[in-house]
Structure 1
Amino acid sequence: MASTSDIRNGLCIRYNHDIYKITEFLHVKPGKGPAFVRTKLKSVTTGKVLDNTFSAGHKIEEIRVETHKFQFLYEDGEFWHFMNVEDYTQIRLTENALDMPKLIKEGEVVTILINTEDNMPLSVDMPASVVLEVTHTEPGVKGNTATNATKPATVETGFEVNVPLFINEGDKIKIETDKGTYKERIKE
């Protein structure tokens, strides 16, 4: 059993008969009253995000996890299929185990957290950003760059993102995976 002093981002805990991953936390020590920890928990089974406050010293049940590198193979509409790059075993995950499923392209290597008790995959950690090619966007209008104007663009995985007007079809762009926002154009 761990306590609230052991809470950190990425920690997996068992809470209310479900497994949650801590995505954010804040230790609060008010001037009056006992200390507490505010957390944002994401269910690894349903994907639901929950705000919770633990009192200082509260016991939490920590889940032991291992991280493994997996390569994304394909998506069949219901499941996302991955292959372990070390022993070539394959697993399949539902869409709610992925934070940004539309940003993974075939062949991408990601880190998957696996529960050591029952070898169940818990969540997929994406890289901080991905480089994808723009497959469709409207052409930008010359002279309309005085403001910070954007336009929608569709990338090779089908994800739609707002990009600056100078981005054209065929350009490669970097997208931040945590927010799903445009970061920069990649020069080749």
Structure 2
Amino acid sequence: MKANEVKKHTVLAHNGLYYVVREVEKSAPTARGGNTTYRIQMFSIPDGHKVDLSLRADDDLESVDLRKREATFSYMDGEDYVFMDVEDYTQYILSAKIVDDIKGYIIEGVEGYYVSLIDENPIALAPPQSIVLEIVDTAPELKGGSATKRTKPARMSTGIDVQVPDYIENGTKIRVNTETGEFMGRE
């Protein structure tokens, strides 16, 4: 796999260990794109040590052959998240470290979560591309506004904050992009 093909939540092998990618940042020093570099932030599995790599677009990385299984969130077991396979009802126990960056997008009754497995051990979780969350706390709309598009922070039912348009109120259900954390629209 080339560095320019790496995406968030990809699992890679590096120096004999497995890593899950949390962030990919592209930087092109010139307008023509010469010497484009990719800064890849990844965390080791399962202990969560952070590693940053800076690579050129055509540098090779070793992708890991893993199995992805669709699952739904069942319940919390202490600090662990328990997901159930939608086909064979196998339970996958994922530690808080594995789901740390996406725990605000984990809710019951939602389809589209994928558990990544290496040798039947769950090592990563990918959420659906978007999810519907309810706003529990946001400031009221400012009156006498202008024609500009203003946003304000809103606290979701899962505890994360999302920037929403000024006219959105408490109790509103909104769709949130799980990759960017951005407001997509009302439900």
* Mapping for residues 20-35 of structure 1, pairs under 5 Å: 20-21=19-20, 24=24
Secondary structure of 2:104's counterpart equals helix
Task: Check whether the contact 1:47–1:96 (CA below 8 A) recurs between aligned residues.
Answer: no
Structure having the higher Rg: 1
Q: Which residue does 1:160 correspond to in 2?
A: 161
Cα distance change of structure 1 residues 183 and 36 upon mapping to structure 2, 3 Å threshold: closer
RMSD: 3.1
* Mapping for residues 1-188 of structure 1, pairs under 5 Å: 8-9=5-6, 12-21=11-20, 24=24, 38=38, 40-43=40-43, 44-45=45-46, 46=48, 48-53=50-55, 61-76=62-77, 78-98=79-99, 99-109=101-111, 110-115=113-118, 118-186=119-187
Q: C-alpha separation between the residues in 2 aligned to 1:169 and 1:56? A: 47
Give me the identity figure in percent.
Answer: 30
Q: C-alpha separation between the residues in 2 aligned to 1:57 and 1:167? A: 45
Tell me the number of residue pairs that the alignment of Structure 1 and Structure 2 aligns. Answer: 173
Q: C-alpha separation between the residues in 2 aligned to 1:41 and 1:13? A: 11
> Could you tell which deviates more after superposition, 17-26 or 133-142?
17-26
Unpaired runs of at least 5, structure 2 = 29-34
Unpaired runs of at least 5, structure 1 = 29-34
TM superposition score normalised by structure 2: 0.75
Task: Check whether the contact 1:9–1:25 (CA below 8 A) recurs between aligned residues.
Answer: no
What displacement does 1:77 show?
Answer: 5.1
What amino acid maps onto 2:103 in structure 1?
A: P
Q: C-alpha separation between the residues in 2 aligned to 1:161 and 1:84? A: 29
Cα distance change of structure 1 residues 8 and 171 upon mapping to structure 2, 3 Å threshold: same
Q: C-alpha separation between the residues in 1 aligned to 2:186 and 2:136? A: 14
Q: C-alpha separation between the residues in 2 aligned to 1:112 and 1:88? A: 13
Secondary structure of 2:97's counterpart equals helix
Secondary structure of 2:93's counterpart equals strand
TM superposition score normalised by structure 1: 0.74
What displacement does 1:82 show?
Answer: 0.7
